[in-house]
Structure 1
Amino acid sequence: MSVLRKACRQCTVSKRKCIVQLPKCSRCTQKGLVCTYDLEPINAPTGKLEVAPQLSFNPSNCDTPGYCVFKTLRLRPDDVDPAICRPGHEDAFELVRLGFQTVPGMLKAEKPAVFVHPKLKMRHYSYDHVAIFREMGNEAVNERNFKNLLHLNIKTVPMEEALTAVQALLIYFANFLFAPNEGEQLDTVQYLNTLFAWAQALFPSAQNEMPRDQSPWQEWLFAESVRRTILMSYAITMATSSFKYGYCANWLFVESLPFDSRAGLWMAESPQAWIAAARVRMGEEVGEQLQSYHEYSESRMGMKDDFHGDIFLKLLVNSHNGVN
């Protein structure tokens, strides 16, 4: 797994506290400074990686054995047991259903889902792997489509296509892995390794291959889709490890992952609504205001629900803090 530096170069020189996040730490973002990490940063340059980060699914590679990201979740269906990190307990699956299995239905209804937005436009040369869910909803979730997707060489496609491929893989994987009364046993480790490899291919290119010839709204939608997709890729891994082994792998790494936490922006279905949600006058003024998962969840401690219907934000906060 990639190692994050505890402080960027600017904060180190200034001897200031550094909250590590992408694309810049909080201090550099506020001051408009160039933010660089001398040790292996997660926004390393794209291209052919000589040494790829070791993200293989391995139950021994965990940050906090015995601790689960979902353990403090209190807002849950009545039939979900609080001891959801007990190995072999299917309640961990129920939490993943809330974040993944709702996506096809939301897309068919043309509504923003947890990590896929129906208004994100693909350029003409990029194939959209989630388009089938917009057309067919849950009917598109079948073994044939799943196996066809797995033939894709993620490293040879444009970044826009790679994004939708990872999103589609998450949908298929979650639905098959957590399907009740599953007939054929899914090779969990094999598909988790595939998910890691695909997320790994998407991760370092997120900074250098973002499409810059789009409207401000489309640029923001694409960047936020990448961030949410990467975070949810790790979320499904943690849920799986909690079910199998009783703890969640990569917890500390996930806490450092950034996203735009301004409630309402993701739920906007037009550029006008997006601008209004950001409380600015023009799209160019919206920009990005990123927080790490840990920083955002801590800032929401004890506060009431004002997520504007954004299931992603609600899941993150409830998973981290619980609900009083």
Structure 2
Amino acid sequence: MTDSAPPKRLACIPCTKAKRKCSKQTPACHRCTDKQIVCRYPAPRIAPPYDLVFSQDGAVSVVPAPSDRNPLPTPPSQIGESQELEQQQQQIHAANTELTRAVAPASADALQNPWFLSPLSWTIDHKTGPIPSQIYFSDEALTYFIGQLQVWLKQWITEGHCPFIHPQLWRIHLPENVQDAFTSLSAYHSKTPATEKMVLRIIETRVNNLVNEQNPTDVGDFGVVMLDPACHLARTQALLIYKIIRLFDGDIRARAQAEKNIDTLSLWARQLWQSAGLGVASNHKDLVNKPHPNPVDTQLRTDGSPSCTWQAWIFSESVRRTYLTATLTEAVYLTLKQGFAPCPGGIIFSCGAGLWDAPTPFTWLKHYQSNIVNSIRCVEGEHLFSHVKASDVDEFCHATMIVSYGLERFERWCNEKM
């Protein structure tokens, strides 16, 4: 641990959330070290050695960046907070402009340049700036969302899929982390009063093994690049499943143990999002599609065919839904515990009816090209209320709308006639 902090380093995220003074040391500040929690700092932006130019028809071209550009992350001390915020807002505005075409029937070039493989689609919109505002949920919405999480987990072990785990995602390669989570969840749903404590101890051991096998020093940007997006996705989904089980089981020990890893899940979800975003950006550097020995590696790029684009969407959307489910689960639990939670910001995800449940790439493409709406930023639900019907979006979107706007507003939307 260093004796002094770099100049102008921003306070770590746990200290910012707790509104406490941060010593700003790395790899962990004094407060996080004393409380034995994961210390993480706002990630610096990584500038790729190229620029992406989007034409009006949606085509993308790569232009070499100026030779004096530094390809390494820019330290916060070199960019003023106001300037950085302005840059973030400009990027988000550009992303929203570019993605406007996603709320109408897809154009002919949708397979060549899909919105979900645009680097701009991986921005996070913080409406109030870099420090998230507080959000509140109604009691009915909290109860509904927790119930939906539990229904989704049971659906996964009985049907092989749920609204944030696609049936095709791990069809070729099933990571050990996900295998352990599946068997643990199966044991949990078949437990009896006599075996309940044993099952919870098994889950506790699986969680400890999952967390301990990761490098505890990889809490910053180094941790993002040390794993590929598929590994990030597998471990985040596994920890999320354990978290849902233990936070809402009702067992005091299980809930207390789960609380210890809330920051870890938040960290892993953040690193998952950053890793996927960097993967998409790096794929744009080389527009010539090359074969990869690992089938998962091809799922963040497309050669323009329906099958390849469908696979890219499945992986991209799995990242988006896992990230959103993880952040909403944390927010719901914190609201139950303290009455409010920090808003994690808005991300773009697919919401069009029929997309997630499509069994083939051609069925998916049919919905993708004919849907009134295909994607939405999760903080812009009012757009859905005013422009589409509830039947135009899927189950996952319904859950996010209910937890964000309440059951009453959702039911009123369902009964409205467009």
TM over 0.5: yes
Work out whether 1:237 is the aligned partner of 2:237: no
CA distance in 2, matches of 1:316, 1:213: 29
State the 1:217 CA deviation: 1.2
CA distance in 2, matches of 1:4, 1:272: 41
CA distance in 2, matches of 1:277, 1:26: 22
CA distance in 2, matches of 1:101, 1:262: 23
- Check whether the contact 1:166–1:229 (CA below 8 A) recurs between aligned residues: yes
Q: What is the RMSD computed on CA atoms of the aligned residues?
A: 3.7
State the 1:145 CA deviation: 2.1
- Check whether the contact 2:181–2:242 (CA below 8 A) recurs between aligned residues: no
CA distance in 1, matches of 2:259, 2:251: 19
CA 1:127–1:199: 2 relative to 1, 3 Å? same
Query: 3-state DSSP class of the match of 2:166?
Result: coil
Aligned to 1:248: 341
State the 1:222 CA deviation: 0.5
Letter of the structure 1 residue corresponding to residue 250 of structure 2: P
Work out whether 1:314 is the aligned partner of 2:398: yes
Work out whether 1:102 is the aligned partner of 2:102: no
Q: Pick one of 281, 293, 303 that aligns with 2:378.
A: 293
Aligned to 1:161: 231
Over alpha carbons, which structure has the higher Rg?
Answer: 2
Work out whether 1:191 is the aligned partner of 2:233: no
Work out whether 1:278 is the aligned partner of 2:374: no
State the 1:120 CA deviation: 1.0
Aligned to 1:148: 209
- Check whether the contact 1:238–1:249 (CA below 8 A) recurs between aligned residues: yes
Aligned pairs, number? 261
CA 1:178–1:7: 2 relative to 1, 3 Å? same
1:100-141 Cα deviation digits (max 9, x unpaired): 2233322223354121112114765x8353234556753267
Work out whether 1:222 is the aligned partner of 2:304: no
Query: 3-state DSSP class of the match of 1:101?
Result: helix
CA distance in 1, matches of 2:150, 2:178: 14
Aligned to 1:75: none
Query: Percent same amino acid among aligned pairs?
Result: 23
Query: 3-state DSSP class of the match of 1:209?
Result: helix
* Residues 1-324 of structure 1 aligned to structure 2 (within 5 Å): 5=86, 7-8=89-90, 20=92, 25-30=95-100, 63-64=133-134, 67-68=135-136, 70-71=137-138, 82=140, 92=142, 94-121=143-170, 127-132=175-180, 137-139=185-187, 142-153=203-214, 155=223, 156-187=226-257, 189-210=259-280, 213-214=298-299, 215-250=308-343, 253-254=344-345, 256-279=346-369, 290-301=375-386, 304-306=389-391, 310-322=394-406, 323=410, 324=412
Q: Which one has more relative contact order, counting CA pairs under 8 Å at least 6 apart?
A: 1
Query: 3-state DSSP class of the match of 2:213?
Result: coil
Aligned to 1:89: none
CA distance in 1, matches of 2:382, 2:162: 20
CA distance in 2, matches of 1:273, 1:4: 41
State the 1:314 CA deviation: 0.8
CA distance in 2, matches of 1:135, 1:187: 20
State the 1:98 CA deviation: 2.7
CA distance in 2, matches of 1:249, 1:262: 28
Aligned to 1:14: none
CA 1:235–1:128: 2 relative to 1, 3 Å? same
State the 1:96 CA deviation: 4.2
CA distance in 1, matches of 2:267, 2:379: 25
Letter of the structure 1 residue corresponding to residue 164 of structure 2: F
State the 1:169 CA deviation: 0.8
CA 1:291–1:184: 2 relative to 1, 3 Å? closer
- Check whether the contact 1:107–1:133 (CA below 8 A) recurs between aligned residues: no
CA distance in 2, matches of 1:151, 1:166: 14
State the 1:188 CA deviation: 5.1
CA 1:185–1:293: 2 relative to 1, 3 Å? closer
CA distance in 2, matches of 1:116, 1:270: 16
1:230-272 Cα deviation digits (max 9, x unpaired): 111210121121111111212xx43x21112222211223323
CA 1:263–1:105: 2 relative to 1, 3 Å? same
State the 1:202 CA deviation: 1.1
Query: 3-state DSSP class of the match of 2:177?
Result: coil
Structure 2 unaligned regions, length at least 5? 1-12, 14-41, 43-83, 102-112, 189-198, 216-222, 281-295, 300-307, 413-418
CA distance in 2, matches of 1:36, 1:304: 27
TM-score, normalised via structure 2 length: 0.53
Query: 3-state DSSP class of the match of 2:89?
Result: coil
State the 1:200 CA deviation: 2.2
Larger helix share, 1 or 2: 2
1:183-238 Cα deviation digits (max 9, x unpaired): 45514553111112211221211122256624211110000011111111210121
CA distance in 2, matches of 1:143, 1:257: 31
Letter of the structure 2 residue corresponding to residue 151 of structure 1: N
